[in-house]
Amino acid sequence: MNLLKLIAGGQVLFTNFLRVSIFVVMAWIGGLKVFQYEADGIVPFVTNSPFMSFFYTNSGKMAVNEKGEIVPEYTLYKNPEGKVVAKNIAWHEHNGTYRFSYGLGLVIVIIGVLVLLGIWLPRAGFAGGVLTFLMAVVTLSFLVTTPEVYVPDLGGDFPTPQFGFPYLSGAGRLVIKDIIMMAGGLLVASDSARRLIASKSR
């Protein structure tokens, strides 16, 4: 019973902990956007998104791979995490991959800061919460637009038993977690809105 009362009485503390948690994720992930490997890694999401593809020069372009198949051009210039290939870097520079990533990283960090400021400034916290929710909506849309979020059928010694929807790849498992950010954004926005209403009624 005492534990129940303790948890029930910690709502304000836990809401602020949620704000800090969102800030840590946003600041860390947003900060990583200035690094080459992270910028390269978001290309499949951005180039396949109807909301974001216009930021890239090469979105929609097709090319022939080593098997003679016509594939999206970006798939020929992927840099595996931890590996740097000069021709791939040059392609990404022309594509605008790095410029876009720097801007996106800055936006993400700013949203995180707004959410954190909500501990003291409810108006800033409300804006940060709403923006967190909207960012999560865009991220979750990748489950519809990005082929890489599902396990591909690459074949092998035996037929691939699980591929396509609903079998999430590593990228897909990363994306689906944003449903938690969506809920968190709504909760901190709601708390900030409640505080704003209370301050006006005094």
Kindly tell me the burial class for residue 125, based on how many C-beta atoms sit within 10 Å of its own C-beta (0-12, 13-18, 19 or more). Answer: buried
CA distance 64 to 76: 9
Indicate the SS3 state at residue 34: coil
What is the helix (H) or strand (E) element at residue 86, kind and residue range? helix 86-95
Global pTM value: 0.92
State pLDDT tens for residues 19-67: 999 999 999 999 999 999 999 999 999 999 999 999 999 999 999 999 8
State pLDDT tens for residues 82-141: 888 999 999 999 999 999 999 999 999 999 999 999 999 999 999 999 999 999 999 999
55-134-180-177 Cα dihedral, nearest 10 degrees: -20
pLDDT of residue 4: 86
Residues in the chain: 202
Listed by start position, the domains of the chain span 13-200
State pLDDT tens for residues 136-175: 999 999 999 999 999 998 888 888 889 999 999 999 999 9
Q: What is the CA radius of gyration of the chain?
A: 21
Q: Is the pLDDT reported for residue 1 higher than 80? A: no
